[in-house]
A and B are shown apart, each in its own frame.
Chain A
Amino acid sequence: MSDGAPERAWYEIVRDVLKQHDVSLIPYVPDNVLRPLIELLEADPFFNAFSVAREEEGLGITAGAWMAGTRAILLMQTSGFATLANQLASLSVPFQIPTMMIVSERGTLGEFNIGQMLVARTMRPVLDCLAIEHHTVTRLDEVEFIFDRSIRQAVATLGPVCFILSPLLTGGKVFAK
């Protein structure tokens, strides 16, 4: 940034790090905050990004891809993560499959939907009780480090990892009529 290079947005940094680590398969259930990332990945021929009907399905796809040699990451919002406890506990963790997840965080810092607020509170307890590595990304200057190091770690330790994108990073979603 000090060298005059244009500052990259969070989603551009994420795209670049995924590419560096050869993470090319991107099933997702969309979310408004993830939109710029999804658009970027869909526009780039390096990636195979497509929507699935349920997050569970996406997790299964990433697991199969990993075992057959392709790295994948699942994109979703907090409410989508809440549908995954069983699949994480019965597939990713016991089979030692490094499921990679990006969750755009709803339910905090200005949430207007009480359901989103409540379901968001289940996310970190689920991750913690399964001992799944997770990081809440709040600042632009830490995006690259957190993603780069954690993808390496997931692959090296065969453990899932969850990147939680805080509204502090993304701006989140605010009530608009």
Chain B
Amino acid sequence: MALTTNQPVTRDQAKVMNRYDITKRMLTYLHHDEAVIGGIGYSNFDLWAASESPNGRRQQNFYMLGSMGLAVPIALGVALAQPKRKVIALEGDGSILMQLAALGTVAARDQKNLTIVILDNGAYQITGGQKTLTDQGVDIVAVAKASGLEQSAWAADESAFEEMIERAMKEDGPWLIGCRIDTNKPVDTTERDPSRIRDQFMRGMGVKK
């Protein structure tokens, strides 16, 4: 089992990290215009915040403004269309709980260029912090494994997360990385301009010039 050979941890043992911090760390391992699909909730807010740079914002990001649960399917569509590009779905626990079968679909397609990062704060944070099922016993990594995503594991801490992402960007997936995160507020708010988001993303994907 590729991801967990060194230090497998359970959800309970995994360190509670910060969403903005690990999103920022994740982006430092992207050197080949990898696509990142940010799910609804605060997942895409911190992706937006972390993608700010002096040269403008990263174009290869897509920010969902609705369609709760579709980060993984959208990422799968991108991955199917561009098998040479690595694609990351950044999804919250509340959101993936709404579309669990998408994990099985990724496994069934054996989508080698796809990585799923689950940001698990045990809450529907953006709607007021109500508990999700992951705070009541559901383990997304275990669900992923049972869905056929063998290369699924919890990140023990920040350095384990970095190791996993680095590996996922080099070797064949599909991968799923579970991250426990705190309930700190996101650093910024995504600009709600859907046609601009789509246009930028298509340029980032080389589909539009």
Contact surface of A with B, Cβ cutoff 8 Å: 25, 48, 50, 52-54, 56-70, 72, 86-87, 89-91, 94-97
Contact = CB atoms under 8 A, between A and B. Distances in A.
B197 interface: yes
A61 B205 CA distance: 16
Contacts of A60: 67, 70, 72-74, 76-77, 102
Contacts of B77: 25, 60-68, 70, 72
A165 B55 CA distance: 49
Contact of A64 (B37, B66, B105, B206): B37
A72 B80 CA distance: 11
Q: Among B37, B104, B194, find the residue whose CB has the most chain A CB atoms closer than 10 A.
A: B194
19 contacts: A58-B73, A60-B73, A60-B77, A61-B77, A61-B105, A62-B77, A63-B77, A64-B81, A65-B77, A66-B77, A67-B74, A67-B78, A67-B202, A86-B68, A87-B70, A90-B66, A91-B67, A94-B195, A96-B198
A95 B198 contact: yes
Given A25-B81, A97-B198, 18 more contacts: A48-B80, A53-B102, A54-B99, A58-B73, A64-B78, A67-B202, A68-B77, A69-B205, A69-B206, A69-B207, A70-B80, A70-B81, A87-B67, A87-B70, A89-B66, A90-B65, A91-B66, A94-B195
Contacts of B35: 68
Contacts, number: 117
Interface string B94-108: 000001011011001
Contacts of A86: 66-68
Nearest to A62: B77
Contacts of B118: none
Interface in B55-103: 62, 64-70, 72-82, 85, 99, 101-102
Contacts of B205: 67-69
Contacts of A66: 77
Q: Which range contains the number of B residues in contact with the other chain?
A: 35 or more
Contact of A61 (B69, B80, B104, B194): B80
A64 B74 contact: yes
B80 A25 contact: yes
Contacts of B31: none
Contacts of A68: 35, 77-78, 81-82, 85, 202, 205, 207
Interface of B: 35, 37, 62, 64-70, 72-82, 85, 99, 101-102, 104-105, 108-109, 194-195, 197-198, 201-202, 205-207
Contact of A67 (B62, B67, B85, B102): B62
Nearest to B65: A90
Contacts of B65: 90, 94
Contacts of A63: 70, 73-74, 77
Nearest to A91: B67
B143 to A, nearest CB: 14
Q: Among B62, B78, B108, B202, find the residue whose CB has the most chain A CB atoms closer than 10 A.
A: B78
B70 A57 contact: yes
B76 A64 contact: yes
A43 B194 CA distance: 37
B105 A59 contact: no
B184 to A, nearest CB: 26
